[in-house]
């Protein structure tokens, strides 16, 4: 069994299909462009994680017949996997079922937190040496990352997805297991989240360079 896998969930950056709640501020094409930038920065994070240690990468997409998704997977050196139909719990279960058959530790991240720091990925993997499950809380009541180890797949029974109770429900669903919690981070779903992102990148644009460039381009277009 190999040591570790980092998996990322994505979707094709189609106009009107991604980050639709941000469209009120940047328009549907702008929201799609932003999401594509989010993924670009997330892939950069994945590649830095792989370069730092023995971690394989996986990419799970809602569609496989998209050239941009194929390009993303190729950049990670992997074949894209298809997320099954169903809620996020169904999709996460499939990714863990596949990953834990081959890897001792599996950490899954989304593509909504372009500034997610490598230190929290390292913390998630390190936590799995002491506990079978790990969660990385998000600012909205969900989580930016979830991990499992040694064949212990998380339960997502009864989780209310995309609510302020998502993290709490997941903790409750795994109450009979040891669960580590790492430091929280923020993801970008609502228009108000863009204010936090703008503030962060105004101080440290290197935290998400593709996103910083996209935001600057959108600002110039709106003048």
**What residues does each domain of the chain span?**
2-221
* Interval 159-163 mean pLDDT: 96
Q: What is the pLDDT of residues 166-219, one digit of tens each?
A: 999 999 999 999 999 999 999 999 999 999 999 999 999 999 999 999 999 999
Which CATH topology does 2-221 take? Spore Coat Polysaccharide Biosynthesis Protein SpsA; Chain A (3.90.550)
Three-class DSSP category at 139: coil
Any long-range contacts for 24-33 (C-beta under 8 Å, 24+ apart)? 24/191, 25/191, 25/194, 26/194, 26/218, 26/222, 30/218, 30/221, 33/214, 33/217, 33/218
CA distance 53 to 4: 9
What pLDDT band is residue 1 in, cutting at 50, 70 and 90? Answer: low
pTM (predicted TM-score)? 0.96
The CB density around residue 62, as the number of other CB atoms within 10 Å, is: 17
- Classify 108 in phi/psi space as left (phi over 0), alpha (psi -120 to 50) or beta: beta
Q: Write out pLDDT tens, residues 21-59.
A: 999 999 999 999 999 999 999 999 999 999 998 899 999
């Amino acid at each position: 069994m190999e040591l570790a896998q980092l998996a990322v969930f994505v979707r094709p950056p189609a106009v009107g299909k991604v980050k639709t709640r941000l469209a009120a501020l940047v328009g549907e094409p702008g929201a799609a462009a932003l999401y594509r930038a989010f993924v670009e920065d997330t892939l950069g994070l994945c590649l830095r994680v792989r370069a730092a240690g023995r971690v394989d990468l996986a990419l799970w997409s809602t569609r496989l017949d998209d050239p941009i998704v194929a390009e993303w997977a190729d950049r990670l050196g992997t074949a894209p996997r298809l997320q099954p139909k169903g809620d996020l719990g169904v999709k996460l279960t499939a990714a863990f079922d596949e990953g834990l058959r081959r890897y001792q530790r599996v950490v899954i991240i989304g593509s909504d937190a372009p500034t997610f720091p490598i230190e929290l990925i390292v913390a998630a993997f390190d936590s799995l040496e002491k506990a079978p499950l790990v969660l990385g809380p998000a600012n909205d009541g969900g989580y930016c990352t979830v991990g499992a180890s040694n064949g212990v797949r998380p339960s997502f029974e009864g989780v209310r997805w995309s609510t302020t109770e998502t993290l709490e429900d997941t903790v409750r669903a795994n109450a009979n297991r040891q669960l580590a919690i790492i430091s929280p981070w923020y993801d970008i779903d609502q228009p108000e989240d863009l204010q936090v992102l703008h503030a962060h990148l105004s101080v440290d644009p290197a935290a998400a360079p593709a996103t910083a460039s996209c935001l600057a381009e959108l600002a110039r277009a709106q003048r």
